[in-house]
Structure 1
Amino acid sequence: MSSPSRSQRARRVPASHACDACAARKIRCDRASPCRRCSTLSIECTATRRRSKPGPKGPWAARRREARLAEDSWREAGDAASNESIQSLSPASQDDGQPQQPSAACSPDVSYRAVSTAALERYLGIFQLHLYPVWPVVDQDELRSRLRNSGDWEAYMLAAAISAVTIAQLQLSPEEHYDLVGDGARMAAEAWRIRASLDYLEHPSISTLLSSFFLHIAAANRREIRKAAFLLREAVTCAQLLGLDQAVYYRALPRDESQLQLRVVWLLFVTERGHSTRFDFPRILQLDPNLPALEADENTAILSPFINLCRLFRNFSHAVDGDGSPRTHETFAEMHARLRAAPESPHYSSDLQLADFKLTQQWMRVVLWKTSMYHVSLTADAEGDDSLSLGFPNQVARRVVQDLDTFPVHIVEFHGLGMEMKLFEIAMSLADILLCLPSALTSRESMRIGPRDVLGHLVQFMAGFRGGGDRAKLQLLYTKTYGTGASVFSIHPTPRKDDGLPCRPLSSDPSTSVKGIEW
């Protein structure tokens, strides 16, 4: 019997190896040279591939593969968006003045949904239950219906943005909610991936406006303040381009649609007013005074408190910005009285709305007090409810501490960075007065809960707010607090009934106060 040729010996497959072709197809190889399948297909039978290590490849292999796939998809989406922009600017893409169809807005260059419709609907259900009273601008039934249309990428983008905010705002975690998937950062990244392929800036809509708004909230929760400001400005500009700030826009709309979009533009007004005041950004949204009135007939328990909050911000805007009249002592006293007398709605559906209204109202009073310092002389009388006295921050802080004791800590925390900044400004105002004019707030009775005790309560609450909040700002507040002689973790004298504070001492054990004040 003749021996095999040299070329045949080079191609001979080892007994323990499948040939390259069979290994690639993951089919059984008879390990002949050539094997039966390669002979049948008339292809070369080789065994030159490098064998991979058998068994598991380590705990990070799958994660590295997923990261590479995600990076490739993001890069492809970005390249496609760039090519789309370049093509739209080229002369060949113009059609002699004919209007161009928003092809990018209708069919983005994406081929898959990274988050299932079922998962998004679960997050939308949680949003409707807990956060819709704060942001009543999403028609959930319509959005769910649109989500089931695989070609509606704007609906998918909006649902991903809402999911990102729901996870971050309510601090959901897979460990506590086993039926949920992903995290806030992943959901926000998914919304951004879709935005990269949509021509949403050239073709704005209510869905893209709301996606910008909710991504603004998500960025603010991550303390990306400049990014949050850009996204809020984007949402406001989108509303202006659509005409939501003009009364004429609503004339031809059905009543339900008109009311929903009115709530959208009022929500933008409230959010921009609060964000610009806290971070000293300019405002650009001016509402037409002839806008139709907001109505609460659809859902009184949810919409009535929202309407009251909008009215509160409208009064606050008029008070801080002024109406052109001389800013005298009497003018500011009247403005303070208007803010103080803002009615609370009897139809609060949850503590979430009530806490937002009460604490925001007290923050507004402090901001107006600080504004009045530049226009009128403040009195030294710290007694009574004199809104133009040097002791006014103490009065507001006492009311805030009283309100904080009324609500569960997580209710206050659900309002996120905005509420944290409001409480911080109230505490800082009290600390500044104690540092600059300690005699103005000296208690007349040694056994009475004083302003330093109130400041200590506020600082202790903020130390546990959402896990510690902004460490830099908290350190500044700590420094000022210690400078006033206030002690954050100490047992104080039992307050009198007329002090306006709960009659329970502050715990001396810091470990019991991680998430808020324990009376």
Structure 2
Amino acid sequence: MPTASATYQPQTHYNSPPQHQQPQQQFRPDLYRQDSHHPYWPPHSDLHSGPELPPIISPSHSEPHQQRLSGDVFLPYIQLFFQHMFPIMPVLDRQVFLDASLYSDSSSMSSDMYCFLCAICATTVVQLDASIPQPSPLHPQKSTDDVFAEECLRERKTYDWIDSCTPLAVMVPFFLFCYYGNHEQSAKAWHYLQECITFSENLNMDDEQSYTKLDPVEAQWRRRLYWLLFITERAYAVQRRKHTRLHASVQLPAVFESEDPQLLTGFVNLANLFSAVDDSFVSAWRGSRRQSLCNEAWLAKTQKQLDAAALAVDSGGGVSETQQMDISVTREWLHVLAWQMGVSNGLIWGKGEGGMRLDYPIEVGRRVVEITRGAKGMALDSHGIGMEQKLSDIAGCLADVLRCTAGDTSSTFLEGKQYLHTLLQTLSSMRGKESRYLKPLMSKLDGVMGYELSNATLPLPAETAATSANMPPVTSAGNDFLMPGGGRYSFADSFGMLRTLSMSGNLGMPYLDAPIQQGPGLQNEWEQRRESGRVYDEYETKAMGHWMGGQRIP
């Protein structure tokens, strides 16, 4: 991911670094001062009930003075950011942001700097969540991430942030996006992501020629920032089935001229992976391409491109464990999405090329288990809600395949249950607690794993690798699957059920918005992130009757 340092200090003058050495900056405290006065906010005053979208027109500066947060509250969270999140968001310069003198007087900071620190601290708190101990709360009744986010939005009302078009200003809405994204408030998250992209376009960061006019070091920082936005937009647009605005139109940052070539190697690998998620992929995933354009050749090519883009990770590219988790799990997640497009377009077969087989999600599940097995907790947890979403997507798709092929006693499908069980165990302890996606995911599993949603713990599946050795060989010919009690699903039936789920937006793990509070003492209900207005017809309902346990689909 891009690193941000000079990017956020556009006035700073840099010396061109020698080859393989870290870009040097001259730290100038006056960069963080501003001439205009700020409203102040008395300590321990009531905060807003929740962050709100900023007004289109900046309000006047005549509001009563309010006091900013003390500068020393920021540094502990910035240190946590560098310790755990920097490998996936290397967009800050250590020399500047770990210098304690920066935080000596918050009243002398520019509004952009103050807002940026509030936004990144809010993201750090919510993204790491309960995975590690964090500093003492800033407010007795509010979570610390909300305090930081609200203070960022309050400060934004005191100056014309729209005209404050600097790389540092780009990062304010970016980290607000991260904050809202981790809270599953997708509308606000998308708003702030679009805002930071607009800022980047105003700075011509999507134009390769613009970099030739910059100091070489500043140009490198801006390249990192641009590619961070590119990666983030592609990932979030795919998750939410949105259009994309940024393209792979500028050169990647230089690896060997950076302060940390290993870190930049991981970032470039991730950028290459998302470069494979081109406009045709996004359009096909959104369902806006003609079916004839998403054909067998395109699907096979896409699956191969995803593997080739992250080849350096498989060949021991020397990236950090945190980056390896990001790249490898993301690649498998994209494989599953491409497979789902194949299901929607009738391109999945019982046998044949890997990415177009009916049991392909089982293979993906195996690879993800191998990737995550033995990984340090923080290597997964530092990615925040995004890692949980990708793992739950993969697990949900695997669960659907196992349900639509119920009764198949071949080793492949028995092993698939083991992989699903392992993924559920991983989700049962993410960021220091049970993932919010675990229970909605387990609601898919009745009759698949041998345990119910109400179970407090996850027992081992009834079938184990040991028992599979004693199973009789599969006697079905071709693509037929055995059914419990002697019944069968043909390949056509299994594929038809999967395609029905895919076309209705329910294949895999339905994304969730924030829980809907039903009142004191009542259990939360969940909204799907990708709602489907499609109603199953009578034929589809009848075909899926056995699979749904006799329950009709509304």
Structure 2 gaps, min length 5? 1-41, 452-457, 470-554
Residue-by-residue CA offset, 1:486-506 (whole Å, 9 max, x unaligned): 44422666647x99xxxxxxx
Q: Could you tell me how far apart the structure 1 residues matched to 2:327 and 2:434 are?
A: 23
Of 466, 476, 490, the residue aligned with 2:460 is 490
Name the CA distance, whole Å, in 1 between partners of 2:444 and 2:48. Answer: 46
Q: How does 1:506-517 map to 2 (within 5 A)?
A: none
Residue 476 of structure 1 is matched in structure 2 by 440
Q: Secondary structure at the match of 2:445?
A: helix
Q: Work out which of the residue numbers 156, 160, 163 in structure 2 matches 1:195.
A: 156
User: Paired residue for 2:76, among 122, 132, 157?
Assistant: 122
CA contact (8 A) 2:449 2:462 kept: no
Secondary structure, in 3 states, of the residue corresponding to 2:126?
helix
8 A Cα contact 1:205 1:242, kept in partner: yes
Deviation at 1:191, TM superposition (A): 1.6
1:49-101 Cα shifts (integer Å, max 9, x gaps):
xxxxxxxxxxxxxxxx95546579x99x99x95346xx9xxxxxxxxxxxxxx
- Equivalents in 1 of 2:398, 2:134: separation in Å? 40
1:237 matched to 2:198? The reply is yes
Summarize deviations over 1:343-393 as a string: whole Å, max 9, x none: 134454532111111111110110111122334521113xx8711111111
Contact conserved, 2:123 with 2:145, CA < 8 A, in 1? yes
Query: Relative contact order (C-alpha < 8 Å, sep 6+): which is higher?
Result: 2
In structure 1, list runs of 5 or more residues that go unmatched. 1-64, 88-107, 500-519
1:456/1:486 contact within 8 Å kept: no
- Any conservation in 2 of the 1:246–1:287 contact (CA below 8 Å)? no
* Residue in structure 2 matching 1:400, options 349, 352, 368: 368
| Structure 1 residue ranges (4+ consecutive) displaced by more than 6 angstroms after TM superposition | 322-325
For 2:82, the aligned partner's letter is Q
Matches within 5 A, 1:261-272: 261-272=222-233
Equivalent residues in 2 for 1:263-302 (5 A)? 263-288=224-249, 291-297=250-256, 298=258, 299-302=260-263
Give the 3-state SS of the residue equivalent to 2:341 in structure 1: helix
Q: Is 2:321 the partner of 1:360?
A: no
Q: TM-score, normalised by structure 1?
A: 0.68
Map of 2:34 onto structure 1: none
Matches within 5 A, 1:302-317: 302-317=263-278
Is this contact kept in 1: 2:43–2:67, CA < 8 A? no
* Closer/same/farther in 2, CA of residues 127 and 109 from structure 1, 3 Å limit: farther
Instruction: Give the distance between the partners of 1:445 and 1:349, measured in 2 at CA.
Output: 34
In the other structure, the counterpart of 1:137 is 91
Of 89, 109, 113, the match for 2:68: 113
Q: What is the distance in 1 between the residues matched to 2:252 and 2:43?
A: 50
Q: Which moved more, 1:302-311 or 1:229-238?
A: 229-238
The 5 A counterparts of 1:201-220 are 201-220=162-181
Contact 1:397 1:454 in 2 (8 A): yes
8 Å Cα contact 1:124/1:140 also seen in 2 = no
Identity of paired residues, percent?
Answer: 24
Residue type matched to 1:415 in 2? H
Structure 2 CA distance for aligned equivalents of residues 330 and 81 of structure 1 = 52
Change (3 A) 1:140 1:172: farther
Question: Is 1:389 matched up with 2:357?
Answer: yes
Contact 1:153 1:194 in 2 (8 A): yes
3-state SS, counterpart of residue 265 of structure 2: helix
Contact in 1 for aligned 2:131/2:381 (Cα 8 Å): no
> Structure 1 pair 178/456, CA: closer, same or farther in 2 (3 Å)?
closer
After superposition, the Cα gap between the structure-2 partners of 1:109 and 1:274, relative to the gap in structure 1 and judged at 3 Å, is farther
Q: CA, structure 1 residues 206+304, in 2 after alignment: closer, same or farther (shift >3 Å)?
A: same
Paired residue type of 1:136? P
What aligned pairs does 1:158-177 form with structure 2 within 5 A after superposition?
158-171=116-129, 176-177=133-134
Structure number with greater Rg is: 1
Q: Give the TM-score normalised by structure 2.
A: 0.64
How far apart, CA to CA, are the structure 2 residues paired with 1:180 and 1:348? 37
Whether the 8 Å CA contact 1:339–1:361 is kept in 2: the answer is yes
Which position in structure 1 is the counterpart of 2:379? Answer: 411
Answer yes or no: is the 8 Å Cα contact 1:169–1:415 preserved in 2: yes
Stretch of structure 1 that moved more, 323-332 or 420-429: 323-332
Amino acid at match of 1:480: K
Aligned to 2:389: 421
- After superposition, the Cα gap between the structure-2 partners of 1:349 and 1:187, relative to the gap in structure 1 and judged at 3 Å, is farther
Cα distance change of structure 1 residues 275 and 109 upon mapping to structure 2, 3 Å threshold:
farther
Q: Quick one: structure 1 residues 179 and 427, their matched pair in 2 at CA, closer, same or farther if it must change by over 3 Å? A: closer
Could you give the per-residue CA deviations for residues 155-189 of structure 1, whole angstroms, max 9, x where no partner exists? Answer: 12111211122222223699x45578562222222
Alignment partner of 1:369 is 2:328: no
The answer to which of 164-173 and 307-316 deviates more is 164-173
1:67–1:494 CA distance, 2 compared to 1 (3 A): same
Residues 453-473 of structure 1 show CA distances to partners (whole Å, capped at 9, x for unaligned) of 322322232233342333xx5
**Matched letter for residue 129 of structure 2:** Q
1:328 is displaced (CA, Å) by 3.2
* Distance change in 2, residues 1:248/1:148 (3 Å): farther
Q: Report the alpha carbon displacement of residue 404 of structure 1 after superposing the two structures with TM.
A: 2.0
Q: What per-residue deviation string (whole Å, max 9, x for no partner) do you get for residues 186-211 of structure 1?
A: 22222222112121123322112101
Alpha-carbon deviations, 1:19-40, whole Å to 9, x = none?
xxxxxxxxxxxxxxxxxxxxxx
SS at match of 1:82: coil
Contact 1:431 1:480 in 2 (8 A): yes
Distance of 2:46 and 2:460 partners within structure 1: 54
